[in-house]
Amino acid sequence: LDIRDMRLASLRGQIGIVQQDVFLFGGTIRENIAYGRLDAVESAIVEAARRARLHDLIASLPEGLDTIIGERGVKLSGGQKQRLAIARMFLKNPTILILDEATSALDTQTEREIQQSLAELAQGRTTLVIAHRLATIRNADRIVVVADTGIVEQGPHDELVALGGAYSRLGAAMD
C-alpha cells in the first residue's frame, strides 16, 4: 500500500501516537481510554487497560474505570499517564504506531514495565520510535540515525555498533 495514494483523513485514522507528554482530559479513566475509539464496548476498554498493565491500578481505585483523573491527569503518576496513553492505542489498534520519546520522563523501573507494554503494542504493525536513549531502540529491526545533515546511518543495533560511527559514539557517550 502506497500511502501517497491515500486520502489524508484515512491515513490519519491509521496512525496512533504515544508521546512523552500525554494528552489527557479531566474525565474518567474509562473516557480517557475510550478516546482511542469512541464506539468501544466495555470489554474492549477493559482488555486495553489490562494489556497496558493498568488493571492493578484500576482495581485499587474505589470508582475503578469511573475514577475522575483530574485535568491533564493530575491525579496520576507519570507512569500511570503513559499506561493510559498505551491503553488508548491498544484500543485504537492503529496500523502505524509512533512512539515519540514515550518513556523518556520515567524512572528506570517504570520505563522497564512500560517497555513491555510498548513491545506488545508494536507487534504486527509499523512502528516508528523517536528516542534519544539507545536502550529504548536497541531491539528495533532497523535503526535510523538522523543528524543535522539528514540520515547518517541505518541498520540493526549490532551492525551500527560494529560500524563505529555516529550510533556507536552515541552509545559510548551514554555509558
Let me know whether 54 and 108 are in one domain. yes
Q: Do 108 and 145 share a domain, yes or no? A: no
Given the DSSP bridges, would you call strands 143-147 and 126-130 parallel, antiparallel or unpaired?
Answer: unpaired
Instruction: Supply the pLDDT for residue 1.
Output: 65
Percent of the chain whose pLDDT exceeds 70: 97
**Whether residue 165 is found in the same domain as residue 116:** no
% of the chain surpassing 90 pLDDT: 30
Closest Cα partner for 37 from 96, 91, 84, 97? 91
Checking if the pLDDT of 105 tops 70, the result is no
Residue 175 — very low, low, confident or very high, per pLDDT cuts 50/70/90? low
| Residue bearing the bigger pLDDT, 139 or 162 | 162
Same domain, 54 and 102: yes
Whether residue 159 is predicted with pLDDT greater than 90 in this model: the reply is yes
The per-residue pLDDT for 70 is 80
Q: Is 103 found in the same domain as 122? A: yes
36 and 58: one domain? yes
* pLDDT reading at 49 higher than 90: yes
The reported pTM is: 0.79
Shared domain for 124 and 146, answered yes or no, is: no
Domain count, the chain: 2
pLDDT value of residue 21: 84
Q: What per-residue confidence (pLDDT) applies to 130?
A: 87
Q: What separation in angstroms does the CA of 100 have from each of 46, 70, 82, 137, 153?
A: 25, 24, 12, 12, 20
Q: Do 120 and 89 belong to one domain?
A: yes
What is the CATH number for 63? 3.40.50.300
The residue range of the domain holding 156 is 141-175
Mean pLDDT of the chain: 86
